Amino acid sequence: MLMSILPPSFLGKKVYIDSTKQRYYVVRYEEPSGLKKVNVLLFDQDAPIIFAVLHHDGRFLDSFYLTNKTTQESAKAMERYKKIAERKKQHKVTQDDLRDALKSEEDAKMKNENILKHLVDEHLEDIKHLWPSRLLTLQKTDGKSDNSLILIALEEALDQANATKSFQFLVQHRYDSLIPALGKHYENHPNLLDDVTNYYLSHNHRDIVEQFLDEATKNVSIHEHDLIEQLLNTAKRVDHIYYSNTMRHLLSKLFKRVKHETNESPKEWLKETIHDKKLKQSIVDTLKKKIG
């Protein structure tokens, strides 16, 4: 099956306004509007200049200068943007800090010894409110390091934040590569399993689902029987769609954990863990293929 294109994030996108490509505006604010539309604000430096409605394919469906016109949607976008901007003014991150934040820990000047904490705090607030991230926008427009302080701080924030909000935030900003790491939070946020699986399978991004299942399998308690059943049933679903060996892979990991963490044999553990009859039969069929 072909993977479908995930709905884009336009944050950081440059829109050139002359043929020489010397002058441009940058998308620094966006919010979804309907199934395949996004409302955005285009900025000149730090000032919002244009409101636009973009199709997911990048086409402009509507646009106008904010000084010339106001609609209900543009007023709502500006109101929300101003609220975020006012909140950012209260943060302890200076312009020098932001320039430093684009560098790796080795290259950063780190004049502000609390810079990482301040960056983590800003990420946490953005995740909590699902705000468009100025830090990730800056990373997209000016970032040169894949190991910048901004991205280091993001990973720390994801460890602390509500995992359901983190999932929504990462999808919103198209940081899909960080979704699998949320599997470590599966035990405390079981809803993540359906959220991740339904979203990414609907776009045929099986790789992200399998990586998430792998991370969840490594971290969920071996005694959380219901959660393990749900993981294996999801693996069964993936196998049914793609004729893959996802369940086999997860069972192999679980059996190794059982041997290291309990006094039970894998067979005994399975007997007390799996109660779903259809799943039991699927496991039997899988085991017949031998697990390494």
At residue 79, what is the residue type? Answer: E
Determine the pLDDT at residue 1: 63
Tell me which residue of 227, 247, 239 sits closest to 287, measured CA to CA: 247
Cα–Cα distance, 148 to 132 (Å, whole number):
19
pTM higher than the cut 0.85: yes
The dihedral over CA atoms of 243, 247, 248, 250, expressed in degrees to the nearest 10, equals 140
Report how many helices (DSSP H) and strands (DSSP E) the chain contains, helices first: 12, 5
Determine the pLDDT at residue 231: 98
Sign of the Cα torsion 184, 225, 206, 256 reads positive
Determine the pLDDT at residue 292: 45
Q: Which residues of the chain have pLDDT under 70?
A: 1, 290-292
The dihedral over CA atoms of 88, 94, 98, 104, expressed in degrees to the nearest 10, equals -130
Cα–Cα distance, 283 to 271 (Å, whole number):
11
Cα–Cα distance, 32 to 138 (Å, whole number):
20
Helix (H, G, I), strand (E, B) or coil at 43: strand
Determine the pLDDT at residue 88: 87
Cα–Cα distance, 262 to 204 (Å, whole number):
37
Cα–Cα distance, 104 to 98 (Å, whole number):
12
Q: What are the pLDDT digits (tens) for 82-91?
A: 999 999 888 7
- In the block, tokens 């050139």 appear at 16
Order of strands, sheet of 24-32, starting from the edge strand that comes earlier in the sequence: 14-16, 24-32, 37-44, 47-55, 60-65
